[in-house]
Structure 1
């Protein structure tokens, strides 16, 4: 096991969006849900609904321009994440009122229990690290971004 384990294992092909242009938090959720629908085969409308439901319990933005909207879904086989770097930050209602431009949508099976919390902790850890978030913002394409969240940059310089 690598000491720092990123969360790239949760991110399927086509689940990394770079330079996403959205005007609002709602539009952001719709784009993320559309990508998640492609990956999971579940309807985007269901995904958006569940993410909004969860969001109404408390905003999932947690500072430094990063957010982890998340939800549990029936009919999902495994914990799945969609990662987006936005072309411009959106007002997310985050605690520090900073616009959000790095987002990881985390979806878990209804029955995931501990796996959901583990995945959430993994993603939170990565997004709490200013170097990781800066590297995510700097990534020019999906491959570069995948390397960042795979923990590939940890301890490397230059």
Structure 2
């Protein structure tokens, strides 16, 4: 099954943040700025999910995610951090690449497939290194859009 993500070039950014809370707040802010979503609602959803257990995936990557009435397909923002932050990841490593994802409220399988696609993406060693080496948001978007299009084909 292919997964269709909504990822705009301007929804990929770099930032210098101090902690997990600032990361979640910046992710929510990106959803508001780039997709016109309510930042507080996005933050509430992300924090609610994070309270169930860290979305720190491991290998320096986190995938905070939530359900939202405001989207009709999995919608993604990406943050590359200038310096890693603690995220309570499964492997204990701080994170420096963060994929924020909002999925429709009733998108059970679609939400899980989208999470799995992001997970596969960051488990790929070459892609993981390319993400780490990307100098800016534009380079990150180019990498991700090429890979996501290839996976959807």
Same fold per superposition (TM over 0.5): yes
**Residue matched to 1:54:** 49
* Number of residue pairs the alignment of both structures matches: 148
Measured in 1, the distance between the counterparts of 2:139 and 2:115 equals 22
Instruction: Report if the CA contact (8 A) 2:86-2:94 is conserved.
Output: yes
Structure 2 counterpart of 1:151: 147
Q: 1:6 to 1:128 in 2, by over 3 A?
A: farther
Q: Which residue of 1 aligns with 2:76?
A: 81
**CA apart distance, 1:6:** 9.3
Given that residues 12 and 80 in structure 1 are in contact (C-alpha distance below 8 angstroms), is that contact kept between their aligned partners in structure 2?
no
Q: CA RMSD, aligned part only?
A: 2.1
Shift of 1:78: 2.2
Query: Aligned with 1:86: secondary structure?
Result: strand
CA distance in 2, matches of 1:108, 1:6: 12
CA distance in 2, matches of 1:109, 1:17: 23
Structure 1 position 14 matched with structure 2 position 6: no
| Residue number in structure 2 paired with 1:65 | 60
Alignment correspondent of 1:138: 133
Deviations 1:72-126 (A, max 9, x none): 0112222100011100000100111111001100110112222111111110000
Distance in structure 2 (CA, Å) of the matches to 1:113 and 1:95: 24
- Larger relative helix fraction: 2
1:33 aligns with 2:28: yes
Seen in structure 2, the aligned counterparts of structure 1 residues 141 and 6 have a Cα distance that, compared at 3 Å, is farther
Q: Which consecutive unaligned segments of at least 5 residues does structure 2 have?
A: none
- Structure 1 segments unaligned to the other structure (5+ residues): none
- What's the TM-score once normalised by structure 2's chain length? 0.88
- Please name the residue that 2:114 is paired with: 119
Residue range with higher mean Cα deviation, 138-147 or 122-131 = 138-147
Alignment check: 8 A CA contact 2:67 2:104 kept: yes
